[in-house]
Structure 1
Amino acid sequence: MFRAIRLPRRTLLTTAAAGVVISSGLDREKLPIYPTPNPPILLVDSPSSLEQQIGVARRTVVGTYDNAYSKVQDVVSNWIGVEKAVENRIKSLHDPTEPLTPSLLYVGVATLSSTIFTRTRSLPTRFLLPPTFLVLSLNYFLPKTSTNISTYLTSLEETYLPSVAEKHAIGRAHTAMTWERIKDFTQESREKFGEGVRDAVKNVEGWTGLKLGETLRVQKSEAVEVVVGVTKKVEEKVEEAVAKSFVEEKTAVDKPKEVPVKRLV
């Protein structure tokens, strides 16, 4: 009843190929089951010309500030180094055996007093007398420190001003020689004066018969005895005071403390 339809072989192959192509196209257009992530968005920063100019100006200002700050720091560091060097130099010049607290006060008082005394004097006196008082008071109250300062100033002068240092050395040598001559002359004058006094006393004794030499020697010996006696008395008083204080301290230590008696109520 039914008849089998026979198709050519080429027709079958063409139909199969078309089916494969259609099925592959449908697979490509098929939506995924899971949601796909959004692609990343890249923003490209493109500054304007005004922003670029502002950036250049800001970098210039910051660089200038950094340079100025570094220079100021260098100046501060150098100044701190100078302060430390000056402090170390002053400490090296000061002699530790000489107290500074009262001595510097005395030097300042002497210098200021000279300025007060010379305020109505002439200009050279007002200009020269205060430094003179300063040097003299410093040599009197701080002799070792003043010697160290003089040595340091001399070394600086020899280092930086050798010609001036040589002239000063010659002047100091002449001054020392003059001072020694003055001392020798004073000593010789004193001896000559003493010899003249002794000769005059002998002449007076020869003319009058009075024993002035013995009287003067007795008075001199009595004065020496008085000084020695006063010294001994002072030493005795000091020893007595020390012994008395020692005894009082020992008594205070050895004395038992009174313990208050507790009463039973």
Structure 2
Amino acid sequence: MAASTVMLATPSGEREKLPIYPQPATSLELIDEPLPLEKEIGVARRAATQTVRDIQAQAQGVVSKWIGVEKAVEHRVKALAAPNESMTPALLFVGIATLTGSILTRNRMLLTRLVIPPAFLIGSMNYFLPQTSANISAYCASIEEAHFPTLAEKHAIANAHTAMTWYRLKDATQSGREKMGDGVLAAVEATQSLTGLKLKEALGWSKARAAEVKEQARVIAEDAEAKVRETTTAAETKVEEKTEEVKSDRLV
């Protein structure tokens, strides 16, 4: 009896074991991955939005500054305008005077056309709005002293010299009038002594009146001299202060 060999073939890998319990259903999750073009569009959109916001912020800053300037100008105008002076007719008169100066010099030389209208403007302002003109002059002087000290010093010296010249002219004019009156009085007295006519009584002149006129002339001359001295002293003091300030600034 022949012997037989039985060979059992087994698989090379183990079979997968099935789970005992049921498994949950598998869920599929879709991930939305943007395209490169979409990324570039998003970057551009964010940059544009930021640029618009920056422009809006700058515009708002400019508007705020302009509002601040308007308020400062309004406050300054209210501070310069004198409360006891009426602006409506006075400014109209100033405008008419300035226009008159421009009309009078429209066919003149260039220098006359440049000088006469501003002179009419300044003169009419000083006449119709004296307090407001003084406030504007003081404000311009303060700006000049703050930003241009050297020019302010020269301006103060020029003003002092101008004031001295003006008061000296007034004094000279008053002296000339007084001398003329004395000459007329001497002529009347000589005529009266020669003719015997009472010209002084006919003209209403008397010794008391002559003495009063002389006293008034003396008072006016003393007042003018005192004003000249006061103006000179103030100008010299101001010039010395400005000189010291300039020297200290240079040392610093």
What is the TM-score when the length of structure 1 is the normalising length? Answer: 0.65
Q: Residue type matched to 1:211 in 2?
A: K
Distance (Å, rounded) in 2 between the aligned partners of 1:40 and 1:132: 96
1:74 paired residue number:
61
Q: CA deviation at 1:46?
A: 2.7
From 73, 78, 81, the equivalent of 1:91 is: 78
What secondary structure is seen at the aligned counterpart in 2 of 1:121?
A: coil
Match among 191, 214, 235 for residue 178 of structure 2? 191
Q: Kindly provide the amino acid, as one letter, of the partner of residue 153 in structure 1.
A: C
d(CA) in 2 for partners of 1:205 and 1:41?
A: 141
**Distance in 2, Cα, partners of 1:207 & 1:166:** 61
After superposition, the C-alpha distances for 1:109-159 in whole angstroms (9 at most, x for unaligned) are: 111111111110001111111111111111111111111111111111111
Deviation string 1:201-236 (CA, Å, 9 cap, x unpaired) is: 111111222211111118xxxxxxxxxxxxxxxxxx
The code of the aligned residue for 1:138 comes to: M
Corresponding residue number in structure 2 for 1:204: 191
Which structure has the greater CA radius of gyration? Answer: 1
- Tell me which residue corresponds to 1:60: 47
Report the counterpart of residue 131 of structure 1 in structure 2: 118
Provide TM-score, normalisation by structure 2: 0.68
Tell me which residue corresponds to 1:174.
161
Aligned residues with identical type, % of pairs: 54
Alignment of 1:229-244 (within 5 A): none
* 1:162 lines up with 2:186 in the alignment: no
Deviation at 1:40, TM superposition (A): 8.8
1:216 aligned partner: 203
Change (3 A) 1:41 1:96: farther
Q: Which runs of 5+ in 1 are unaligned?
A: 1-24, 30-37, 219-265
Cα distance in 2, alignment partners of residues 40 and 101 from structure 1? 87
Q: 1:44 to 1:207 in 2, by over 3 A?
A: same
Structure showing greater relative contact order (alpha-carbon pairs closer than 8 Å, 6 or more residues apart): 2
Deviates more, 1:63-72 or 1:207-216: 207-216
Root-mean-square deviation over aligned CA pairs: 2.1
Greater shift after overlay, 38-47 or 155-164?
Answer: 38-47
